[in-house]
Amino acid sequence: MKHRWHRFLLLFFLVGLLVACDRRKPEYIIGVSQCSNDEWRVQMNKEILREALFYPGVEVKIRQAQDDNQRQINDIKEFIHRKVNLIIVAPNEAGAIAPVLEEAYEAGIPVVLVDRKIHSDKYTAYVGADNYEIGKKVGEYIVNALNGEGQVVEITGLKASTPAVERHRGMMEALKVAPGIHIVASADAGWFQDKARMVVDTILKRHSRIDLIFAQNDRMAIGAYQEALRQGREKNIVFIGVDAVAGKGYGVESVAKGELNATFIYPTGGDKVMQVAMSILKGKKYERENYLSTAAVNKDNARIMQMQTEHIFSLDHKIELLHSRLDDYFLRYSAQKMFLYACVVILVLVGFLLFFLVRAFWMKNRMNAELSAQKEQLECQRDQLQEQRDQLIELSRQLEEATHAKLAFFTSVSHDFRTPLTLIADPINQLLEEKHLSERDREMLEIVHRNVSILLRLITQILDFQKYECGKLDLRLSEFNVFEGVKEWTKAFHVLAFRKHIHFEVTAEGNVADYMMVADAEKMERIIYNLLSNAFKFTPEKGEVKVELSRKEQDLQSLLCLKVSDTGIGMSEEHAQHVFERFYQIDMQHTGSGLGLALVEAFTHLHHGQVKVATEEGKGTCFWVELPMRQEGEVKKVIEKNESLKNLQEGAVLDAGTETLHQLPKSVSVDGKIEKEVVLVIDDNQDVRDYIKMLLQEKYTVIEAVNGQEGVRQAMKYVPDVIICDVMMPVMDGIECCRRLKNELQTSHIPVMMLTAYTMDEQRIQGYDSGADSYLAKPFSAKLLLSRIRNLIDNRKRLKFKEDTVTSVQKQPLGEIDKGFVEKLKMLIDEKMGDSNLSVEDLGADLGLGRVQLYRKTKALTGYSPNELLRIARLKKAASLLASTEKTVAEITYEVGFSSPSYFTRCYKDYFGESPTDFLKRRDGKG
């Protein structure tokens, strides 16, 4: 908006400037320098000014020097300095004024001389009378008036001015015709009346007879007359002057009155001067010398001249009047113009203002409309959000209800389970004490014992959690040294750490004695079990698990800080937020009941403490439990040990160690040395692996892996005949493992059977999408497992090369990778069979497989070892050569890559049932 007002101001300023410009600066300035200030010059100045009126844009500045050379020089210098466009000058003395006028002329300022001249040629034009001519006319008049005889006195003007010199010269020239006329006296009166009176006084006194006095201007002639009148001699003398200025007391009136006998018109010519000046300024044509004409005025024409002059004066007056009126009009006109401009500016401003007002109004309306539309939209969104929020609240309520229902269900089921489980556990324990058990039976019973323990722990945890939820879980306080306690409680995990090759340590900051606390020791113990179970479960071999104890003072309270950290697989930020929620399952890699950590939080809260978690995927996890060292409440001296605590500890350790291999698989030999087919079992649960192994080990060689990653490694190394793979596993789940197996050349042909506790279709689809060949849901029966494995191996065998090794295979439903492998193998054999030194290693190198991998893959896909395939191909080629060429048996032996004819003959007979020679005989009809 501010911006727009700037535009307004600018517009206003421009209009103002336009109006101001109308008072134009003069186009030309003309300087007029007069040497004197008598009536003759007053008239000339008036004429100049009047004429200037006809030239708009011209300003005239007039200076007069009062007959002083220096003053006139200064006036002219000022004109030069002010850079006037032209100088009009009547120089006082011809010599003295010349230099300054030359300076002006050379500075490019045109110089117009009037009335008088200078001793220089450097002027632009001259306007004035021809003074020599005037002098001549005066001379002629004298001759005439004196009839050629008489005594004459001459009163001259300023001798250094040109009119004085010229007029004298003209007069003398004319007097040459009358030798009887004598100039008896000549005196310089400098153009002044008073001075003329003085000199005439002297002359009259000296000369008794004087017939005529010629004064070079009227002023001096009148002075001479006045002096003669005073001396009473005026009647005998003829008085002649020059100028013929009209008006009271001047030359023409003196002639009319009979005081002067004659005067000669010396025209002022101000109008002409102005015309010439303007022609020069406008670059028009002009004359350099402009002479104005003269005439004699005597008693006869003086009156008429006076009348004419008066008439001229009145006309001049009218012109001036007209001009002043014009000036008035012009003033009024410009005032009106100003007013008009102001009106226009105001109108424009009002226009703009109106425009902006309308625009602002329109914009306001539009914005209002937009805002109300937005408001409506927002309201609509708000309603939707509210609806969604209500739905969410309802959903979370339902979820809460469902969770409660789940917990309630689990609780009631757990109650029901506990008794039968205890009844299973106890007899099993007793059975295990039996000395005469077979190893297989003992192993089976141990599996049952371990899993009953895990189930009992799970049930205890569910029941405890339910109690906590209902507020029925109390603290049973006792005083104990928590550091000693932790050391005791973690003993069982040291065994696990040793087995899993995990570095495990328990440390405390400061003095051991400082860790005496009042708390529920059993719950503290279980906090430790659960945190450690979790840490060990997700920490791979060679990792690190630490329990660190410290104390801190906060809000006048002593706090125990328990830190359990691991270098395990960690989890994402998002999962970390939910990790304490009951039944929370992260993903297939983070298996568990989802109760352990929820109980840790519950027990910590019971102790008025808090638990925090920090984790980074791939780097590890760290839990902090902070709780007051001294809990308020009744402290019991003796607390009976809860029977289930032993089970809880055992369960926690078992749960954490599920993925550990009991024993590493014995290396599996290859290249025909394996009698039994090889089965790879990939499962993180040791008991599952043990159980499957027990079921299979009679008929198959069983190798194991604890997770997908390990599984892929084992499969690449041993190329088993079939793979059994769990879906939910840490590090790499079963789906990803199967996808990788099916994409590797070494393992792509191996049938994979997915094994999972879930029977959901989606998991099945995921399993098949990843390339799984079969699917078995847990719990499975031993019979079903065995028959599925048998089927998978047999089906694979059915796909093997039949009699015609390579051609038939293309019709079989093999995967892309396996098809490509078989074709490449066939091409390689065809190409290289002539080389008797060709080895299985060479073929493997060409196919990107090791010796074992090539052997097991080829055997699995074709039923033959690579060597057998090579031999069959060679024999077939030999047979076709025998049938179609005249080559000898020896020649063919070497051509197809056998090293000796006798070995060739033996092989040939084994394969085709007759020796090559028998075949040739039969072919040639000799047999």
Question: Is residue 670 within 8 Å of 852, Cβ to Cβ?
Answer: yes
Sheet with 774-777: list strands edge to edge.
700-705, 677-682, 722-726, 752-756, 774-777
115 binds ligand FRU (CB under 6 A): yes
51 binds ligand FRU (CB under 6 A): no
**Cβ proximity to ligand FRU, 160 vs 829, nearer residue:** 160
93 binds ligand FRU (CB under 6 A): no
Of residues 435 through 474, those in contact with ligand FRU by CB under 6 A are: none
**Cβ proximity to ligand FRU, 242 vs 571, nearer residue:** 242
- The window from 155-163, 503-511, 610-618, 764-772 that contacts ligand FRU (CB under 6 A) reads 155-163
**Cβ proximity to ligand FRU, 227 vs 243, nearer residue:** 243
Name which of 193, 191, 135 is nearest 165 in CA terms: 135
126 binds ligand FRU (CB under 6 A): no
**Cβ proximity to ligand FRU, 216 vs 685, nearer residue:** 216
* # residues near ligand FRU by CB under 6 A: 15
Exactly one of 30, 33, 38, 268 binds ligand FRU (CB under 6 A); that residue is 38
687 binds ligand FRU (CB under 6 A): no
Question: Is residue 432 within 8 Å of 426, Cβ to Cβ?
Answer: no
Q: Is 812 exposed, middle or buried (0-12, 13-18, 19+ CB in 10 A)?
A: middle
**End-to-end CA gap in the chain:** 119
Q: How far is the CB of 222 from ligand FRU (least distance, A)?
A: 11
**Cβ proximity to ligand FRU, 217 vs 649, nearer residue:** 217
Give CA 51 to chain center in angstroms: 73
**Cβ proximity to ligand FRU, 217 vs 746, nearer residue:** 217
Using only C-alpha atoms, what is the Rg of the chain? 70
**Cβ proximity to ligand FRU, 160 vs 840, nearer residue:** 160
40 binds ligand FRU (CB under 6 A): yes
Q: How far is the CB of 298 from ligand FRU (least distance, A)?
A: 18
Q: Which two tokens stand for residue 554?
A: 């906060």
Q: How far is the CB of 251 from ligand FRU (least distance, A)?
A: 9
**Cβ proximity to ligand FRU, 212 vs 245, nearer residue:** 245
214 binds ligand FRU (CB under 6 A): no
**Alpha helices, H only, 755-850:** 761-769, 782-798, 816-832, 840-847
Interface mask toward ligand FRU for 267-306; x: CB under 6 A: ----------------------------------------
Name which of 194, 138, 190 is nearest 159 in CA terms: 190
Exactly one of 91, 110, 157, 734 binds ligand FRU (CB under 6 A); that residue is 157
**Cβ proximity to ligand FRU, 302 vs 562, nearer residue:** 302
What are the DSSP calls for 252-298, one per residue?
A: HHHHHTTSSSEEEE----HHHHHHHHHHHHTT----SEEEEP--EEE
C-alpha span between 840 and 829 (Å, rounded)? 11
773 binds ligand FRU (CB under 6 A): no
**Cβ proximity to ligand FRU, 220 vs 873, nearer residue:** 220
266 binds ligand FRU (CB under 6 A): yes
**Cβ proximity to ligand FRU, 243 vs 721, nearer residue:** 243
Q: How far is the CB of 183 from ligand FRU (least distance, A)?
A: 20
Q: Omega before 779 cis (within 30°)? A: yes
**Cβ proximity to ligand FRU, 115 vs 690, nearer residue:** 115
**Cβ proximity to ligand FRU, 263 vs 490, nearer residue:** 263
C-alpha span between 355 and 348 (Å, rounded)? 10
Distances in Å between the alpha carbon of 555 and those of 468, 516, 558, 611?
27, 19, 8, 18
Of residues 561 through 590, those in contact with ligand FRU by CB under 6 A are: none
Q: Which residues contact 281 (CB under 8 A, 6 or more apart)?
A: 28, 30, 85, 86, 110
Indicate the SS3 state at residue 155: strand
C-alpha span between 763 and 480 (Å, rounded)? 49
Instruction: Please name the residue that has the structure tokens 């109980």.
Output: 599
Q: How far is the CB of 246 from ligand FRU (least distance, A)?
A: 14
137 binds ligand FRU (CB under 6 A): no
- CA triple 252-258-263, angle to 5 deg: 40
**Cβ proximity to ligand FRU, 139 vs 163, nearer residue:** 163
Name which of 918, 912, 913 is nearest 889 in CA terms: 918
Instruction: Please name the residue that has the structure tokens 């329109």.
Output: 362
Q: How far is the CB of 164 from ligand FRU (least distance, A)?
A: 7
Strand partners, 677: 700
Name which of 461, 459, 469, 457 is nearest 403 in CA terms: 469
Q: Which two tokens stand for residue 607?
A: 């102790």
Q: How far is the CB of 223 from ligand FRU (least distance, A)?
A: 12
261 binds ligand FRU (CB under 6 A): no
**Chain position whose Cβ is nearest to ligand FRU:** 217
Of residues 824 through 883, those in contact with ligand FRU by CB under 6 A are: none
Q: How far is the CB of 92 from ligand FRU (least distance, A)?
A: 9
C-alpha span between 817 and 810 (Å, rounded)? 12
C-alpha span between 655 and 155 (Å, rounded)? 154
Q: How far is the CB of 307 from ligand FRU (least distance, A)?
A: 23
161 binds ligand FRU (CB under 6 A): yes
217 binds ligand FRU (CB under 6 A): yes
Exactly one of 75, 154, 211, 243 binds ligand FRU (CB under 6 A); that residue is 243
168 binds ligand FRU (CB under 6 A): no
Q: Which two tokens stand for residue 358?
A: 């309308």
Question: Is residue 185 within 8 Å of 245, Cβ to Cβ?
Answer: no
- The window from 35-43, 97-105, 168-176, 224-232 that contacts ligand FRU (CB under 6 A) reads 35-43
Q: How far is the CB of 94 from ligand FRU (least distance, A)?
A: 11
C-alpha span between 359 and 354 (Å, rounded)? 8
163 binds ligand FRU (CB under 6 A): yes
Exactly one of 89, 242, 265, 719 binds ligand FRU (CB under 6 A); that residue is 242
**Cβ proximity to ligand FRU, 213 vs 242, nearer residue:** 242
**Cβ proximity to ligand FRU, 39 vs 51, nearer residue:** 39
- The window from 157-165, 169-177, 453-461, 527-535 that contacts ligand FRU (CB under 6 A) reads 157-165
Name which of 653, 486, 667 is nearest 562 in CA terms: 486
- The window from 38-46, 81-89, 340-348, 796-804 that contacts ligand FRU (CB under 6 A) reads 38-46
191 binds ligand FRU (CB under 6 A): yes
Q: What is the DSSP letter of 802?
A: -
C-alpha span between 252 and 334 (Å, rounded)? 45
- The window from 37-45, 281-289, 557-565, 686-694 that contacts ligand FRU (CB under 6 A) reads 37-45
Q: How far is the CB of 39 from ligand FRU (least distance, A)?
A: 8
**Cβ proximity to ligand FRU, 227 vs 525, nearer residue:** 227
**Cβ proximity to ligand FRU, 42 vs 447, nearer residue:** 42
239 binds ligand FRU (CB under 6 A): no
Question: Is residue 158 within 8 Å of 90, Cβ to Cβ?
Answer: no
Name which of 689, 620, 630, 685 is nearest 659 in CA terms: 685
- E strand segments, 617-748: 620-628, 677-682, 700-705, 722-726
What are the DSSP calls for 480-542, one per residue?
A: EEHHHHHHHHTHHHHHHHHHHT-EEEEEESS-GGGGEEEE-HHHHHHHHHHHHHHHHHT--TT
Binding residues for ligand FRU (CB under 6 A): 36, 38, 40-41, 115-116, 157, 161, 163, 191, 217, 219, 242-243, 266
